[in-house]
Amino acid sequence: MVASSTEAIDVNRPPDELSRGGAALAWLKQQYALYILLALVIIASVSSSAFLTGTNLTNLFLQVSIIGVVVLAELIVVLTGGIDISVGSNLGLAAVLAAGMFGGSSMFLALLVALVVGGVVGFVNGWLVAYRGLEPFIVTLGMLALARGLVYAYGEGIPIVPGAAESFARFGQSTLLGVPVLALIWVAMIAVIAVLLYRTVWGRRVYAIGSNKAAAQSSGVPVKSTLLSVYVLAGLLCGLGGWLFLGRFASGTALAGNLMELEAIAAVVIGGAALSGGRGTVFGAVVGTFIFQVIANLLSLLNVSSFLQDAFRGGLILVAVTLATVQFRRRKKQVPSTESAAS
């Protein structure tokens, strides 16, 4: 009897497989945003026969690519416990200046202009937050107004068409293996940000600052320089987003990136990030991005007025904040119970 019981134990899965299975199950329980996205895709497929067509999916990925880069920028800022509400205006400023400076005669030169503009805006934000101790919300609110005002002033409300408009249009519509190149660039940025956050010292510092800035500084983390680098990187991503905007629309408009900061913040939050910092994932931000764009795409297919579309976005933001708050409270309740069980 003893031998048979021993044999029964030996054929069971090893403990590490059991732990991996438990971790996977726990991860799935927390992915409420993913389930929302799957439900939306099903609803969209049933509601409109055009949703799953190749043309519409290509258009969806083109839409996601621009806002997706901005969401990544917002994510790294939120992870530090800050917030950047100037990301949309930063994108708009990068787009119009890249289209107008030097005549917009070269796509490569336009990319350099967009990155420089975005990086400068991010540097100013980061310097004021990290080295002057100002609140991120106030700093980026001022930058939002400043950048958007410069957008209107530079173009005087008229779309700016670059000299290389045809090249931008061809680039924006080009595909690789059926996938838009703009979307592939976004995927590349996802990979870059994921590596930086999960595989580098810089990423660990970002999470440490967001979890407890004072403790991070006490443990030797260069808080100020790390914060500055976060805002500069966010600015560079917004600059890239402005260049992608030119590729998508072949012109820089006064409304480029308008209110994009709201969607970016909501996508980050609905993806599981905490506005207090220290918690959030690239995967969650990507899922949150798709949620907003699937809804916008479906509403357009159903010919819903733009005013109601704004109302839907506002409602989704409220739902996102509510879900994030509920999940945060559940986690806070689980932590004391886990600690008591361990003691």
Ordered structural domains, the chain, with CATH: 33-328 (1.10.3470.10)
Q: What gap in Å lies between CA 44 and CA 313, rounded to an integer?
A: 16
> Where does the pLDDT of residue 342 fall: very low under 50, low under 70, confident under 90, or very high at 90 and above?
very low
What does pTM read for this prediction?
0.87
pLDDT value of residue 292: 86
Alpha carbons within 13 angstroms on the beta-carbon side of residue 73 total: 38
Buried (b) or exposed (e) across 47-68, using 16+ Cβ within 10 A?
A: ebeebeeeebebbbbbbbbbbb
Q: Identify any residues that bridge with 176 across adjacent strands, giving them in sequence order.
A: 179
Residue whose C-alpha is closest to residue 291's, from 25, 26, 24, 44: 44
> Where does the pLDDT of residue 2 fall: very low under 50, low under 70, confident under 90, or very high at 90 and above?
very low
Q: How much is the CA Rg of the chain, to the nearest whole Å?
A: 22
In this predicted model, what pLDDT tens digit does every residue of 295-341 receive, in sequence order?
A: 888 888 888 877 787 787 778 777 766 766 666 666 666 655 544 44
Length of the chain: 343
> Where does the pLDDT of residue 8 fall: very low under 50, low under 70, confident under 90, or very high at 90 and above?
very low
pLDDT value of residue 283: 93
Mean pLDDT for the chain? 85
In this predicted model, what pLDDT tens digit does every residue of 290-305 receive, in sequence order?
A: 988 898 888 888 888 7
In this predicted model, what pLDDT tens digit does every residue of 166-185 receive, in sequence order?
A: 888 888 888 888 889 999 99
pLDDT value of residue 93: 95
In this predicted model, what pLDDT tens digit does every residue of 177-222 receive, in sequence order?
A: 888 999 999 999 999 999 999 999 999 999 999 999 999 999 989 9
Whether the Cβ atoms of residue 281 and residue 72 lie closer than 8 Å to each other: no
In this predicted model, what pLDDT tens digit does every residue of 12-58 receive, in sequence order?
A: 445 555 466 666 776 666 677 788 889 889 988 998 888 888 888 98
pLDDT value of residue 54: 86
pLDDT value of residue 12: 45
Q: What gap in Å lies between CA 251 and CA 162, rounded to an integer?
A: 6
